[in-house]
Amino acid sequence: MSKVEVNTPPKLNHPFLAGMLFMIVGTLCFASKSIFIKWAYTFGATPESTLFFRQMIATPLFCIIFLMYRAKLSEKPAKADIVRAGITGLLVFFLSPLLDFIGLHYVSAIVERMLVMSYPIFVMIISFFGKIEKITASDIISVVVVSIGIFFSIGGWNLHELSANIFGAFLVLLSSAVYGLYLVLSGQLVRKVGSIRMNAYGMSLASIAMVLFLIARKGFGYQTELWSFQPPVYFLFFIIAVFTTVVPFLFMLEGIKRIGAVRGSLISMMGPIITIIFGAFFLGERLTWIQWIGCFIVLSMITFSEGRKIKLKVRA
């Protein structure tokens, strides 16, 4: 995106306003994901059952979106790229959400969102050790500051809060690390395959992996309940799959097409703040003052770091 496009005040025409609306609604829907998951848990749903129904409902919808946009997509990618898209899709649609959903069972939605926000730190670390990018002094400072914020957000020196959150926090951070690995591995691949194909291929393979995972669990004596929940639970599964997974992807895709990636990224930064508001209002979540400080540190540092990257892209 050029400097002129970004620095010049946009005309408030219908496509631009529609793009803004798409991005705002998409961000709202995505930010509410952990809220609906926590609600499902209160009705007796398990992380495994929640992810299973999310996969089974969302996968056909992503395939339909792929068919809708197929005529507008670039030529079919090479078979090797399709295979890589499916494999990397296992990271972002199966392993990362599985760890996140299980971790969310043990921590609040607010803390979970702050921990998920740490993924740029993992991208930085993985890129450095993979010799993809060099790490700067400011990057090291970001890692240290975010680490301090994470420590505070899960309880800090309050041993009661720390012990209550440590397991769930570890799983969510591991989920963020897996997502960071996906971003590093899929960087060039997304340009070749396209985000719509990536989602369709990745989610399809992840759904197969989820079924195999549940079969393996049963083989080890762990039964996953799927069909004995009350009707409200299945309604929540539908909302999680459609309105917090598929709709955000489609709306943000259309929003970015109309207002550009830079403005879209800035709007999506509202997501964590929305989750905090939703968590406090709808779930009645309450954090200690040290946890609030930790959340503020993580949110501020990641927002500053990502905002700086956006500015660098604009100047490039």
- pLDDT band, very low/low/confident/very high, at 159 (cuts 50, 70, 90): confident
Residue 274 has what pLDDT?
94
Highest mean pLDDT: which range of 105-119, 153-167, 262-276: 105-119
Q: Compute the radius of gyration of the chain from its Cα atoms.
A: 20
| Percent over 70 (pLDDT), the chain | 94
Burial class, 114, CB count within 10 angstroms (exposed 0-12 / middle 13-18 / buried 19+): buried
For the residues of 36-96, what is the DSSP string, one character each? HHHHHHHTT--HHHHHHHHHHHHHHHHHHHHHHHGGGS-SPPPHHHHHHHHHHHHIIIIIH
- pLDDT band, very low/low/confident/very high, at 314 (cuts 50, 70, 90): low
Q: Is the dihedral of CA 61, 99, 115, 283 positive or negative?
A: positive
Provide the residue ranges of all domains of the chain, joining segments of one domain with +: 3-315
Q: What is the dihedral of CA 274, 91, 175, 48, to 10 degrees?
A: 90
Predicted TM-score (pTM) of the model is 0.90
Residue 8 has what pLDDT?
52
Residue 11 has what pLDDT?
57
- pLDDT band, very low/low/confident/very high, at 4 (cuts 50, 70, 90): very low
Is residue 310 over pLDDT 60?
yes
CB atoms closer than 10 angstroms to residue 223: 8
The pLDDT of 131-158, averaged and rounded, is 89
The pLDDT of 77-93, averaged and rounded, is 90
Residue 315 has what pLDDT?
61
Query: Residue 261 contacts by C-beta under 8 Å, 6 or more apart in sequence?
Result: 1
Is residue 30 over pLDDT 70?
yes
Higher pLDDT, 13 or 225: 225
pLDDT tens sequence across 215-228:
999 999 999 999 99
Write out the H or E segment, with its range, that includes residue 184.
helix 159-193
- pLDDT band, very low/low/confident/very high, at 5 (cuts 50, 70, 90): very low
The pLDDT of 85-98, averaged and rounded, is 94
Q: Of the ranges 30-34, 103-107, 185-189, 294-298, which one carries the lowest mean pLDDT score?
A: 185-189
CA 202/CA 56 separation, integer angstroms: 13
Q: What angle do CA 182, 186, 189 make, to 5 degrees?
A: 165
Higher pLDDT, 308 or 98: 98
Residue 1 has what pLDDT?
42
